[in-house]
Homo-oligomer: A and B are copies of this chain.
Amino acid sequence: MARAGITPERLTRAAAELADEEGFDNLTVSAVARRLGVRDPSLYAHIRNARELKERVALLALEELADAAAAAVAGRAGRDALVAFADAYRGYALGHPGRYAAARFELDIRTVAGSAAPRHSELTRAVLRGYGLPEPDQTDAVRFLHGTFHGYVTLEAAGGFRHTPRSADDSWAWLLDTLDFALRNRPRP
């Protein structure tokens, strides 16, 4: 049989595209095999199981997201950095819904450590540097920002804001204003 020339990169890319097009929940070994023009079992020479396929997409998404965030934050500080960071995050999530969902895939602790996840925390801390928060406030703020961005974007992607005429962009801008205000003026303990 002619070889299909499957590489880890081609496989992961196909899976990521599929996730974006059909949803992360519909990402199956079968669907990837179809897209690559091979039979299902052939893929098991390249992946251990279906979970690993999803893991690959998750790791890719974490990398891409961290890269986008890093580029956004570079050369900015304070409010500018916060807004650019948040917009990069939201832009990626809306532009790549399947990959974004993958980034929330539960990885085991060892895999997380070797992933781009730690870069996300570092980048968030870099953004917060402009606000001069001492510990443990900075850790709290990292969690606050992560949670807020993730939650807002998830609800928006799920269509939760379509029932009201107010635009999701405008609410997002208001949210960032409020966040910036709070971080700058919140009374120290």
Chain A residues near B (Cβ < 8 Å)? 25, 104, 106, 109, 112, 136-137, 139-141, 143-144, 146-155, 158-161, 163-164, 166, 168, 170-171, 174-175, 177-179, 181-183, 185-187
Between-chain CB contacts (< 8 Å), 20 pairs: A106-B158, A112-B163, A136-B166, A136-B170, A137-B174, A140-B171, A140-B175, A141-B174, A143-B168, A144-B152, A144-B171, A144-B175, A146-B160, A147-B148, A147-B155, A147-B175, A148-B151, A151-B152, A178-B183, A178-B186
Q: Residue among A147, A159, A166, A182 with the most chain B CB within 10 A?
A: A147
Q: Are B181 and A186 in contact (CB under 8 A)?
A: yes
Q: In the complex, what residues of B have CB within 8 A of residue A161's CB? A: 143
Task: Please state the number of chain copies in the assembly.
Answer: 2
Contact A150-B155, Cβ < 8 Å, known A140-B166, A166-B140:
yes
Q: Are A150 and B144 in contact (CB under 8 A)?
A: no
Q: Are B148 and A148 in contact (CB under 8 A)?
A: yes
A140 to B182, CA, bound (A): 16
A146 to B, closest residue via Cβ: B155
Q: Are B104 and A175 in contact (CB under 8 A)?
A: no
Q: Are A171 and B106 in contact (CB under 8 A)?
A: no
